[in-house]
């Protein structure tokens, strides 16, 4: 069921206020991927346990599987039942049309990512389509996020090591970040400083000195994608520098699958799988709680 426009605007105003608080108090809000109701339940329980604001996010695959309005409804059900400060982020949306649909559905955060869907997209195309989403988002006040070029990796388990020299070629620059923010009017800049989507056999290394220079160059929010597999001290320092949103997906998926495989193996004659899910949900909840502690958002919720 679609939300009334005034309720949507009230939600987006609260989302903006949260980002202002995160900036002023030097904490980051976790954006945790929602694969299904189990992962949503894990995030919700972690948010309650830590009294933390959270974002739940879906990319196009989850939108296709669940539906925009269904996502909005189920998140709102948990929000009302548990008294959560929770918002929805559309992550890596490949088209302007998909972004507009999520804005209409009342999503508070919108990430338009033309380069992820089309790695050969020109800078002019990325800017033009990002500006179109920024303009449309004014109807509800939704916060729009984007970046000027392709962001590496994928939300999966990678066996190859990280080629840091190759990745450095895609790093953000203070000058490039400022130019992109100024021309598009986005609310959130997705920075590239060594962060990669997915889990790798070696830890990720973030260039925090570069992050500081980017932070000094722009006055909007900064998000950090590819948070899975990143040592915790990078998160703590990034939040102090000024990152206000950190995306987590692969770490949750790994915990979910490995624990599900374990309980299925231990219970070969149980076909009511729902009876086995408490341990799985608990494993994902542990991941989320751990990230919340790293991000410094525990105790920061204002439902």
If you write DSSP's letter for every residue of 259-282 in order, what string do you get? HHHHHHHH-TT---GGGGHHHHHH
Lookup result for tokens 């790798």: 200
Question: Does residue 14 form part of some domain?
Answer: yes
Question: Which pLDDT tens digit goes with each residue over 25-53?
Answer: 999 999 999 999 999 999 999 999 999 99
Encode burial over 4-27: b for 16+ CB neighbours within 10 A, e otherwise: eeeebbebbebbbebbebbbeeeb
CB 136 within 8 A of CB 100: yes
Question: Does residue 300 form part of some domain?
Answer: no
Range of the domain at 202: 5-295
Question: Does residue 138 form part of some domain?
Answer: yes
**Count of domains for the chain:** 1
Question: Which pLDDT tens digit goes with each residue over 167-224?
Answer: 777 889 999 999 999 999 999 999 999 877 666 655 778 999 999 999 999 999 999 9
In the predicted structure, residue 230 carries a pLDDT above the cut 90: no
In angstroms, the CA 180 to CA 126 distance is 10
Question: Does residue 13 form part of some domain?
Answer: yes
For the chain, give percent helix, strand, coil, nearest 5: 55, 15, 30
In the predicted structure, residue 162 carries a pLDDT above the cut 90: no
CB 108 within 8 A of CB 57: no
* Burial (0-12, 13-18, 19+ Cβ within 10 Å), 209: exposed
Residue 182's CATH number: 3.20.20.70
Encode burial over 213-241: b for 16+ CB neighbours within 10 A, e otherwise: bbbebbebbbbbbbbbbbeeebbbebbeb
Question: Does residue 105 form part of some domain?
Answer: yes
Average the pLDDT over 159-168 and give the result. Answer: 69
Question: Does residue 84 form part of some domain?
Answer: yes
In angstroms, the CA 266 to CA 235 distance is 36
Question: Does residue 303 form part of some domain?
Answer: no
The reported pTM is 0.93
Lookup result for tokens 């920075």: 191
Question: Does residue 273 form part of some domain?
Answer: yes
Catalytic residue among 38, 73, 91, 286: 91
Query: Is position 64 annotated as part of the catalytic site?
Result: no
């Amino acid at each position: 069921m679609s939300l009334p426009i005034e309720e949507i605007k009230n939600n987006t105003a609260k989302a903006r206020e949260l980002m202002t608080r995160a900036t002023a108090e030097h904490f980051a809000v976790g954006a945790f991927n929602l694969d299904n109701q189990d992962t949503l339940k894990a995030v919700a329980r972690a948010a309650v346990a830590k009294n933390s604001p959270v974002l739940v996010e879906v990319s196009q695959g989850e939108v296709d599987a669940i539906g925009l309005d269904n996502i909005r409804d189920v998140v709102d059900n948990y929000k009302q039942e548990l008294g959560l400060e929770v918002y929805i982020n559309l992550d890596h949306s490949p088209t302007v049309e998909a972004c507009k649909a999520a804005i209409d559905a009342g999503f508070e955060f919108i990430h338009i990512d033309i380069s992820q869907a089309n790695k050969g997209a020109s800078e002019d195309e990325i800017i033009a389509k990002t500006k179109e989403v920024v303009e449309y988002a004014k109807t509800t006040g939704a916060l729009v996020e984007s970046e000027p070029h392709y962001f590496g990796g994928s939300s999966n388990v990678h066996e190859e090591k990280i080629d840091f020299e190759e990745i450095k070629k895609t790093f953000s620059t203070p000058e490039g970040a400022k130019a992109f923010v100024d021309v598009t009017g986005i609310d959130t800049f997705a920075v590239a400083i060594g962060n990669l989507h997915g889990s790798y056999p070696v830890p990720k290394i973030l260039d925090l000195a570069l992050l500081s220079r980017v932070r000094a160059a722009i006055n909007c929010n900064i998000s950090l994608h590819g948070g899975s597999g990143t040592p915790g001290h990078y998160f703590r320092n990034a939040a102090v520098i000024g990152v206000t949103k950190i995306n987590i997906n692969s770490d949750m998926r790994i915990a979910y699958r490995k624990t599900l495989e374990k309980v299925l193996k231990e219970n070969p004659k149980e076909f009511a799988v729902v009876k086995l899910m408490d341990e799985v949900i608990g494993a994902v909840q542990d991941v989320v709680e751990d990230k919340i502690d790293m991000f410094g958002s525990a105790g920061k919720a204002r439902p």
